[in-house]
Amino acid sequence: MSSENPTSGQLSSAWLDISTEVRNPRTLDLDRRTTLGILEALNDEDRIAPEAVRQVLPVMALLVDAAAHAVSGGGRVHYFGAGTSGRLGIIDAAELMPTFNLPEGVVIAHHAGGSAALIRAVENLEDSWEAGIADAADVRAGDVVIGIAASGRTPYVGGALDRARRLNVPTALMTCAEDPELGYLADFVLAADTGPEALAGSTRLKAGTAQKMMLNSFSTALMIRLGKTWSNLMVSVLATNEKLRARTVRILMEATGEGEEPCRAALAGADGDLKVALAAMLTGAGPGPSREALAASGGDVRAAVETLTLPDAV
């Protein structure tokens, strides 16, 4: 594939040169294998994904820090993708709200074709550069835009990145192509080169696995940097059902070393707010001072605890 930057809205048609599209020499006999042999071949290829993702972690770390800075300043993170890539972005963004009690509209996923395309494939919509520009109309200064494209050349993603660059918004591209055609539009290029698929061109396989890993790693690290965890515990979880309510009690027990009843009592005194209960139990402060310290720290439990345990803290 040419390393020259394509003109805005115009991408090359050299699909045969894209690593995610070529035939895999290791699976040429895929249709002649036993069922177990097919599954083993798929699993062998899947093993490539984690190592490919590991290679992009230094760049991902820079992206996480940029996104944390943006969100701390009131900005938002936008995902743009089509097909499998877009659906993975939707899943990752949706799961952040209950897992980390993230307010709606902080991490926003945009999928080519909108909600209708989530359950019914409308793959031709990914070919519109203009659609990407239109869907990125809500992007504003202070945001971060992340394009997700296994091939590294999806026009819809290119349009969104193009508009973001014109706004001087930090941009990133999560891809599985070694030399992504849209790389010139990204400040951070996360190219997890997974190579050819076991089933040629089916990027819902190991490329999809790699993209899910990149998204999950990015968003989890972002939430940690934003202070939504304590140690390795999900202390920002929003308890919306019995399973999650039981989890909040268990998390509080793990974090404090106290028994179930004191933890239930602390949660009740904190009106069910796990962070407030945790800060109160760790410092001996009441729910009121704990809530104030958390508000001052932007919800960061560790920072709030440090404030509450200062010698002059009330």
Note if 95 is an active site residue: yes
User: Of these residues, 45, 126, 181, 197, which one is catalytic?
Assistant: 126
User: Of these residues, 21, 40, 51, 95, which one is catalytic?
Assistant: 95
How many other CB atoms are found less than 10 A from the CB of residue 38? 16
Please provide residue 108's backbone torsions phi and psi, each rounded to the nearest 5 degrees: -120, 130
CA distance 83 to 183: 19
Residue 140 tokens read as 């504003």
Amino acid (one-letter) located at 261: E
Residue 275 tokens read as 């962070």
CA distance 197 to 45: 7
Question: Measured between alpha carbons, how far is residue 264 from residues 108, 259, 260, 276 in Å?
Answer: 34, 9, 6, 13
* Cα-Cα-Cα-Cα dihedral sign, residues 67, 70, 74, 79: negative
- Altogether, the residues listed in the chain come to a count of 314
Closest to 263 in 3D by CA, of 281, 276, 275? 281
**Residues 217, 220, 226: CA angle, nearest 5 degrees:** 135
Note if 126 is an active site residue: yes
Closest to 274 in 3D by CA, of 296, 308, 251? 251
Catalytic residues: 95, 126
